[in-house]
Structure 1
Amino acid sequence: MNIALSILAIYVFILLGYIAKKIFKDELAERGMVILSVYFLHPIFSFWGLSTKPISLELLQVPLYYVLFSLLTIAVSFIFARIFFEDVKERSIMTIATAINNTGNLGIPLGIAIFGQESIIYTSMMSVANTLMTYTLGVFFYSAGTSSMKQAFLNIFKLPVIWAAMLAMVLNFTGVVIHPTLFKSLEMGAYCTVVLQLMIFGMYLYNMKLGELNFKLLLHVNLIKFVIMPIMTVWVLFFVLPLEPFVASVIFLELIVPLAVTNVNIAALYDCKPVDVASLILFTSLLFVPFLLIVSFALSFFGIEHFG
């Protein structure tokens, strides 16, 4: 029940975005909201996220594992993209989308619902790592669909979120404490980012037509997301790496959550088929709940009781 409520509470904002676009149509410009989110609100979100708790080298182990598994996902997806896709934009989407997960909007509350409050420190750190990957590798691959390799690389440094993250990390490691009043304003901006991001996703879903779905892209992304990578990661996390079962379970959860809504923002910013990307997020979100139940049962069968 807690899991279902956590997911439904988040998806309400997606529904609001869909309804708003349905009512006001062209009066609401998705791209303008994407620019507002990416250039102004997401730097605030990133700065706030990296300032909430002191960062220790011990804690960095968890996001490091998360990043390594994400890079493995990108490598597998890249191979699939080269073999099965010829369109440059579809190759870019295929390569990066499966590695940018909804670790913030869904991963953190879901971690609380399944594992309790002690999971927050781990899910928060992985959410920060995921954000940094989004605005580095995500920007590179999505912009590579419409730009040269050199331009795609330079695009990473044109977004303020990277500089905001670097500043926050420097202040965190040097022990500089943000004034409570200023921190409250950052928190307001961070929550605003999440809500606007979800509503933008809902607006793009309105533009999605069932008859125009990219079934080939949907098939391959979901195959990697829910079959190939879970099988590879669950074996390494629980039976190879020297991790506590609880920590391994939290990492695994963050790796299998649906695609992040941020995928739409970056795809729209660089005109890399954002409607197709929105459909990928929708379908991975719909498949996630039954997939999570199957995973919980399977892990329990193999004696891994922390999950579920």
Structure 2
Amino acid sequence: MQTLFSILGIYLFIAVGFGAKWAFKEKIDDRTITLLSVYFLQLFLTFWGLLKRPIDTALLFAPSLYLAITVASLLLMIPLAKLLFHDTKERSIATVAALIGNTGNLGIPLAIAMFGEESIPYTTLINLVNVFVVSTVGVFYYSRGEFDVRNSLLNILKLPVLWAAIAAIALNLIGYRPSPAVDKTLMMGAYASMTMQLILFGIYLYGIKMGELKIRLTLWVNGTKFIFIPLIAFGVLSAVEMDPMVKGILFLELLVPMAVANVNLASLYHCTPRTVTIQVFMTSAIFLGIAPILPTLLHLF
């Protein structure tokens, strides 16, 4: 029940975005909000998350496994998506969408609710890995819907959150710790970023018509998110020696629904953001449905 309430509390801000767009229509410019979120507010989130505590090499095994499972899934999906989807933009969505999970503003609070605050070091580092996945693989494939390979690669370098993450890691490794005043400023920006992304999702959700639902793409994305990736994760986690709690945290972070960052990138690079919004909504709805059995799933390890 606590898990369900945690999810519903987060989804409240999606409802705020939906209601705002319903009330004010074209007075709310979703493109402007996307640019504000991607180019400014997410920088605060990146610095705040990566400077919260020293990066301990002993904690790196879990995020390393997260990256390995993500890369393995990507390598399997590339040829399958190319075979099944001939439209360039649909192929881009089919390749990368399910890999970009909501490990930050959903995964972190959910892990705290289910495993306690001892989960924070692991979820922070896993979210860091996800930031790099978003800023590299995500940018590349969503760009491919509109740009050629060269410009898609250049788009990776243009995104400021990647450079912010590199700078934050460097500061962490040389021992910099923000003062209470700086930390409070970063925290304010971080929470504004998370809230803005949820509101933005609600804004995009408004006006979506079920007639726009692409059945084959939706089945593919949700099958990848809730069947394909979890099976790979279960196989890998069953084969490694690791604290069962850490295995549960890692499995949860791979299972969380698609992140609103998918919508941000799709909007930024004109890769049919309404289609991506539908996929985010569908994975969120399915995840809400399986929330009551999450504790059972996570204790399989």
TM-score (norm 2): 0.96
User: Which residue of structure 2 lines up, in the alignment, with residue 28 of structure 1?
Assistant: 28
Q: Aligned equivalents of 1:137 and 1:294: distance in 2? A: 31
**Residue type matched to 2:147 in 1?**
S
Q: Alpha-carbon deviation of 1:132?
A: 1.8
Q: Distance in 1 between matches of 2:243 and 2:41?
A: 36
Q: Supply the AA of the counterpart residue of 2:155.
A: N
Q: Please state whether the residue corresponding to 1:103 is helix, strand or coil.
A: coil
Tell me which residue corresponds to 2:86: 86
1:69-84 aligned within 5 A: 69-84=69-84
Give 1:266's aligned residue.
Answer: 265
CA distance in 2, matches of 1:111, 1:299: 11
Structure 1 partner of 2:279:
280
Q: Which residue of 1 aligns with 2:60?
A: 60
Give the Cα–Cα distance (whole angstroms) in 1 for the partners of residues 204 and 289 of structure 2: 24
Is residue 228 of structure 2 the alignment partner of residue 211 of structure 1?
no
Query: Which residue number in structure 2 is paired with residue 46 of structure 1?
Result: 46
User: Closer, same or farther in 2 for the Cα pair 1:76/1:179, shift >3 Å?
Assistant: same
State the secondary structure of the residue aligned to 1:54.
coil
CA contact (8 A) 2:3 2:292 kept: no
Question: 1:151 — aligned with what?
Answer: 151
CA contact (8 A) 1:48 1:186 kept: yes
Question: Quick check: 1:50–1:172 contact (8 Å CA) kept in 2?
Answer: yes
Aligned positions, number: 301
Q: C-alpha displacement at 1:207, in angstroms? A: 2.5
Question: Over aligned residues, Cα RMSD in angstroms?
Answer: 1.4
* Cα distance between partner residues in 2 of 1:113 and 1:45: 21
Does the CA-based 8 Å contact 1:71-1:99 persist in structure 2?
no
Alpha carbons of structure 1 residues 125 and 299: separation in structure 2 relative to 1, 3 Å:
closer
Distance in 1 (alpha carbons) for counterparts of 2:23 and 2:29: 13
Superposition deviation, residue 179 in structure 1? 2.2
CA 1:295–1:49 in structure 2 vs 1: closer, same or farther (change >3 Å)?
closer
Q: Is the 8 A contact 1:66 1:126 kept in 2?
A: yes
SS across alignment from 1:177: coil
Structure 1 contact 230–256 (Cα < 8 Å) conserved: yes
1:298 and 1:193 map into 2 onto residues whose CA distance is 30
8 Å contact 1:264–1:278 — kept in the other structure? Answer: yes
- Which runs of 5 or more structure 2 residues have no equivalent in the other structure? none
Q: Tell me which moved more, 240-249 or 92-101.
A: 240-249
Could you say what secondary structure the match of 2:270 adopts?
Answer: coil
How big is each residue's C-alpha offset from its partner over 1:119-155, in whole Å with a ceiling of 9 and x where there is no partner? 1111111112111211111111101110010110111
The answer on 1:101 being equivalent to 2:101 is yes
Deviations 1:151-208 (A, max 9, x none): 1011111111111111111110000122221221111001000111100100000031
Deviation at 1:72, TM superposition (A): 1.6
Structure 1 position 181 matched with structure 2 position 181: yes
Correspondence 1:92-131 to 2 at 5 A: 92-131=92-131
Q: 1:19 to 1:299 in 2, by over 3 A?
A: closer
What SS does structure 2 have at the residue aligned with 1:157? helix
Q: Quote the Cα distance in structure 2 between the aligned partners of 1:249 and 1:50.
A: 22
Q: Could you tell me the TM-score, scaled by structure 1's length?
A: 0.94
SS for the counterpart of 2:58 is coil
Cα separation, 2, equivalents of 1:76 and 1:280: 20
